[in-house]
Amino acid sequence: MSATRAATFHPELITALRSARRVAVLTGAGVSAESGVPTFRDAQTGLWENFKPEDLATPEAFRRNPKLVWEWYEWRRQKVRSVQPNAGHRALAGMAKRYAEFALITQNVDGLHQRAGSAGVIELHGNITRTRCFNENIVVPEWTHTGEVPPLCPQCKGHLRPDVVWFGEDLPEAAINEAKRVSSACDLFLSLGTSSVVYPAAMLPEIALRTGATVVEINPDETPFTPNATFSLRAPSGVVLPDLLRAAGIV
């Protein structure tokens, strides 16, 4: 079966996977889609169909209506808790073991890479399972459940919020610096399941290209980055990534 599949991939792509020494991977919401997590721009279903993500994932939206924003994240937290990592997440965890230098950068806030066994994941946009104080900007692991929505910070009594990065907010400095470093030092870069429209994450494959890496995009749909990719595989990552790695003899 692998031999048949191998024929479907460009031989230079297989060679790039086999000869790479330093690999960087950027993932987006599409990688979790096959687990049943709605992608960011498809997330407006059910209760949330009347809201645009840009009206919910901003500090202004939280100031305007903290209850609405908290409840949107609570809905998403419950969704994430109810799903499992998929074959794409597991393929990346396996891939890490085969390269001397391997960095997994994610825009996802769902923690599914870690649950699939990936270590040292660079989280650019935070993690939905953590909570922080909106005023003090510190992670708050526990609070008293008084029924208040959003719950209140035990220290300052201000609102708690998810520990994620909203539009207009800075990314965690260590995470974005490390992401830029590994993107400029790699010889193979994979861009998986991202619409490539949100910056600064969208600049990472461009950095990798500029520094001479082979850049592979996997996405069922075309993105603004597609014309620049060295190879573009138009398919779901949970199917094509395991196939590709098997064809190259990586996993």
Q: By CB under 6 A, which span of 44-52, 138-146, 161-169, 180-188 interacts with ligand BJW? A: 161-169
Give the shortest CB-196-to-ligand BJW separation in angstroms: 7
The answer to the question of residue 191 lying near ligand BJW (CB under 6 A) is no
Segment lying near ligand BJW (by CB under 6 A), choices 89-97, 115-123, 151-159, 233-241: 233-241
What percentage of the chain's residues is helix, strand, coil (to nearest 5)?
Answer: 40, 15, 45
Q: Is 32 in the site for ligand BJW (CB under 6 A)?
A: no
Interface with ligand BJW: number of residues (CB under 6 A): 34
In whole angstroms, what is the distance from residue 251 CA to residue 242 CA? Answer: 8
- 34 is an interface residue for ligand BJW by CB under 6 A: yes
Structure tokens at 186: 């790699």
Based on the shown chain and the rule CB under 6 A, indicate whether residue 242 belongs to the binding site for ligand BJW: no
* Region at 249 (left for phi over 0; alpha for psi -120 to 50; beta for the rest): left
Q: Tell me if 114 contacts ligand BJW by CB under 6 A.
A: no
Closest CA to 233 of 206, 210, 215, 251: 215
Does 236 bind ligand BJW (CB under 6 A)? Our answer is yes
> Which is it for the CA torsion 112, 95, 171, 42, positive or negative?
negative
Stretch that binds ligand BJW, among 1-9, 14-22, 23-31, 178-186 (CB under 6 A): 23-31
Question: Which residues of 79-142 form beta strands (DSSP E)?
Answer: 101-106, 122-123, 126-133
Is 75 an interacting residue with respect to ligand BJW (CB under 6 A)?
A: no
- As to burial, measured by CB atoms within 10 angstroms (0-12 exposed, 13-18 middle, 19+ buried), residue 174 is exposed
Site for ligand BJW in 119-138 (CB under 6 A): 125
By CB under 6 A, what part of segment 193-222 binds ligand BJW?
A: 193-195, 197-200, 218-221
Nearest residue to the partner ligand BJW, using Cβ: 30
Distance of closest approach, residue 42 Cβ to ligand BJW, in angstroms = 6
Min. distance of Cβ 106 from ligand BJW in angstroms?
8
Under the binding rule (CB under 6 A), the answer on residue 57 touching ligand BJW is yes
Q: What b/e readout covers 44-80, taking b as 16+ CB neighbours within 10 angstroms?
A: beeebeebebeebbbeebbeeebeebbbbbeebbebb
Nearer to ligand BJW, 242 or 248 (CB): 242
Task: Give long-range contacts, CB 8 A cutoff, 24+ apart: 113-119.
Answer: 113/27, 113/85, 113/89, 115/84, 115/85, 115/89, 116/85, 116/89, 116/90, 116/92, 117/90, 117/93, 118/89, 118/92, 118/93
Catalytic site positions: 125
Q: Which of 168, 173, 212, 227 binds ligand BJW (CB under 6 A)?
A: 168
Positions in the binding site for ligand BJW (CB under 6 A)? 28-30, 33-34, 39-41, 57, 107, 109, 125, 164-170, 193-195, 197-200, 218-221, 223, 236-238
